[in-house]
Structure 1
Amino acid sequence: MKEMAFEYVDMKYCIPSDMERKSGIWILRTGRSIAKSHYYVGPKVSENYSLHFVLNGKVSLVYGEEEVTLSEGDAFCLFPHIRYSYWESNHHPESPLRTHSVTLNGEFAVSALNRIGLHPHKPFIRNAMKAELPGVLNQIYECVDDDTLGSEFARQKWVYHLFELLSGAPAKKGTRSNWLEQSLHYMDSHYMEGITVTDVVEHAGVHRTHLYCEFIRVHGISPSHYLMKLRMERAAALLTETDVSVTEAAFSLGYSNLHTFSRAFAKYHHTSPTAYRQQYVLVPT
């Protein structure tokens, strides 16, 4: 470890690949530190998103006008352009403060941090160190400065696994506060795969009647009509903007046969798929 003014540090640096930068979140550096007596950092500001995991001891963190004391197993994040200071609470030479840091950048970094409950106004997590997390931090440490072909995939894997662990246990179905929004996204993402309202209900984890009532109240349309709208608008685009056949359009939209698709299309557009194509496709002159 390298001796600094207030700590011993072992830091590794990463040069992210183009692929990592395009992913929206990447690792810049990671390292371990052991505090010396009178350990104190700041006041200063960070240019990146720096996650710090308390492996041993206690640390006091000041962010803005707030102060918090964190212990072994806790974690905190330094957000860009916010003044902060932190120092060791009650230094013990035989058991000093030890931390492991992972510094991130990218346009999606703040969204990922917010997703696990870290915000500039609350930049810490209690009991963040789940059983697997030290191993993931070690994996990041081992691969962060690896410039061999494919190493960027390992870094991306471990940074996402890190966030997976920090997010905690997944919520049970029906307990998510945004289940209605997620139901809409579920239909938007999978309507071409033959899903039914029963699938949407199962995904939401709520009673079918509750889903229908809330969906109509918020979106002004039932889930079944919303699914039909998505499919029929896409069907119209396939028939007028591509050269796929009517049968190919039916199968592409998750229908098991041409008859069922044609009947649904005629009910929605008041004409058959073939007539619709003939009506709206411009004939070259």
Structure 2
Amino acid sequence: MIGIDTPVTLRQLVQYNPERPYREANDLYVSYWGKEDCNPGHAVGPGIREFYKVHFIHKGKGIVRIGKETFSLRAGQAFMIYPQVITYYEADAEEPWSYSWIAFQGSQIAHALSRTSVTPEHPVFPMDMRIMPRIYEQLSEAVAFIPSANLRLSAILMQFLAELTDVAPAASLETIHPQKHDVYVHKCIEFFKTHYSEKISVEQVAASLQLDRKYLSALFKKALGLPPQQYLLQYRMERAEELLIKGIYSIGEVARSVGYQDALLFSKMFKKVKGSAPKHFLLNSPGD
């Protein structure tokens, strides 16, 4: 497809809209992708997007402006456009860039990017040249497999996010907080997020870290302002609310999915945290 909205020497764009059930059931999905050989001085913006969009620069150079910050880029680099962030970018007048891009959405994108050093304020990062030149072709080839296109596209997106985490990792907890107790708190949170659907206790977490339960609870409360039991309860209810809003699971199914075998106890705790009974969220779900 040749674009008609911008003056470019070559622009190829593939628009892809996954079916609604797939979008609603998945936390990561691709919206569209493309590649472009830009004319000298070709500019986009300033404007905002409703999705995440990353540009891989194959050759040439240009600039990206976010707020008052201007970044100069060249081949081998990439930049991320964040949703609702005003962004402007422009090809160099003498060596205009050629780039490919991929736009994507999903509730887990922000979490994935939190594992990297890329932020709305610092959107530029190096990109492994082993994946960059082929990403447009990989995506285009994936849609040829009609039954599995959605899964193939998501796999490519996940591969990119994994590469990004490797080439632009976030500073480790040890770097940001050299105190060992901060690492314990982080590991406790990760344990809760991994095992919240199971019958777990603070004693189990403390034992896995070879710590006294009271000591771990004190560290946790000092770091987050609430005890670990309360954090786990709130996290479980957040996940429960997400499931209830879908409108396709019973209260009992949701209860068991977040670690409660007793649906009545779950309902009581849910109302305590959320202020309304689970049934209220079911009645007001988009599916009804």
- Which interval holds the TM-score relative to the shorter structure? 0.5 to 0.7
Instruction: Please tell me whether the aligned partners of residues 56 and 72 of structure 1 are also in contact (alpha carbons under 8 angstroms).
Output: yes
Q: Who is 1:98 aligned against?
A: 98
Q: Distance in 2 between matches of 1:38 and 1:55?
A: 17
Instruction: Please tell me whether the aligned partners of residues 35 and 97 of structure 1 are also in contact (alpha carbons under 8 angstroms).
Output: yes
Instruction: Please tell me whether the aligned partners of residues 188 and 205 of structure 2 are also in contact (alpha carbons under 8 angstroms).
Output: no
Matched, 1:138 2:129: no
Q: Partner of 1:219: helix, strand, or coil?
A: helix
CA deviations on 1:148-184 (whole Å, 9 max, x unpaired) are 1121111111111110110116799984766322334
Alignment coverage as a number of residue pairs: 219
- Runs of 5+ consecutive residues of structure 2 not aligned to the other structure: 222-227, 233-255, 265-288
Instruction: Please tell me whether the aligned partners of residues 55 and 99 of structure 1 are also in contact (alpha carbons under 8 angstroms).
Output: yes
Alignment CA distance shift 1:110-1:196 (3 Å): closer
CA deviations on 1:90-149 (whole Å, 9 max, x unpaired) are 523xxx411110011233333333433332222222x12353444455322322x44711
CA deviations on 1:171-204 (whole Å, 9 max, x unpaired) are 99984766322334325644769x9669834xxx
Amino acid at match of 2:153: R
Q: Who is 1:263 aligned against?
A: none
Query: How far did residue 241 of structure 1 move?
Result: 6.8
CA deviations on 1:33-85 (whole Å, 9 max, x unpaired) are 11123322223322322111111121101112211101212111222333322
Q: Partner of 2:147: helix, strand, or coil?
A: coil
Q: Distance in 2 between matches of 1:199 and 1:131?
A: 43
Instruction: Please tell me whether the aligned partners of residues 6 and 40 of structure 1 are also in contact (alpha carbons under 8 angstroms).
Output: no
Q: Who is 1:9 aligned against?
A: 11
Q: Partner of 1:185: helix, strand, or coil?
A: helix
Question: Structure 1 length normalisation: TM-score?
Answer: 0.61
Of all paired residues, the percent bearing the same amino acid is 17
Alignment CA distance shift 1:167-1:213 (3 Å): farther
Amino acid at match of 1:148: I
Q: Distance in 2 between matches of 1:7 and 1:85?
A: 20
Q: Give the number of the structure whose alpha-carbon radius of gyration is greater.
A: 1
Matched, 1:183 2:191: no
What is the CA RMSD across the aligned residues, in angstroms? 3.9
Q: Partner of 1:120: helix, strand, or coil?
A: coil
Q: Distance in 2 between matches of 1:199 and 1:130?
A: 44
Amino acid at match of 1:122: H
Alignment CA distance shift 1:88-1:171 (3 Å): closer
Instruction: Please tell me whether the aligned partners of residues 53 and 81 of structure 2 are also in contact (alpha carbons under 8 angstroms).
Output: yes
Matched, 1:111 2:111: yes
Q: Who is 2:57 aligned against?
A: 54
Alignment CA distance shift 1:115-1:213 (3 Å): same
Amino acid at match of 1:123: P
Question: Structure 2 length normalisation: TM-score?
Answer: 0.61
Q: Distance in 2 between matches of 1:171 and 1:86?
A: 25
Q: Distance in 1 between matches of 2:41 and 2:93?
A: 9
Q: Distance in 2 between matches of 1:140 and 1:214?
A: 50
Q: Distance in 1 between matches of 2:133 and 2:187?
A: 32
Q: Who is 1:162 aligned against?
A: 160
Q: Distance in 1 between matches of 2:145 and 2:130?
A: 29
Q: Who is 1:283 aligned against?
A: none
Instruction: Please tell me whether the aligned partners of residues 15 and 32 of structure 2 are also in contact (alpha carbons under 8 angstroms).
Output: yes
Amino acid at match of 1:152: N
CA deviations on 1:197-247 (whole Å, 9 max, x unpaired) are 69834xxxxxx56x8796243236xxxxx89xx9xxx9x965x779xxxxx
- Runs of 5+ consecutive residues of structure 1 not aligned to the other structure: 202-207, 221-225, 243-285
Of 79, 84, 87, which residue of structure 2 is paired with 1:81?
84
Query: How far did residue 25 of structure 1 move?
Result: 2.5
Q: Who is 1:200 aligned against?
A: 208
Instruction: Please tell me whether the aligned partners of residues 186 and 200 of structure 1 are also in contact (alpha carbons under 8 angstroms).
Output: no
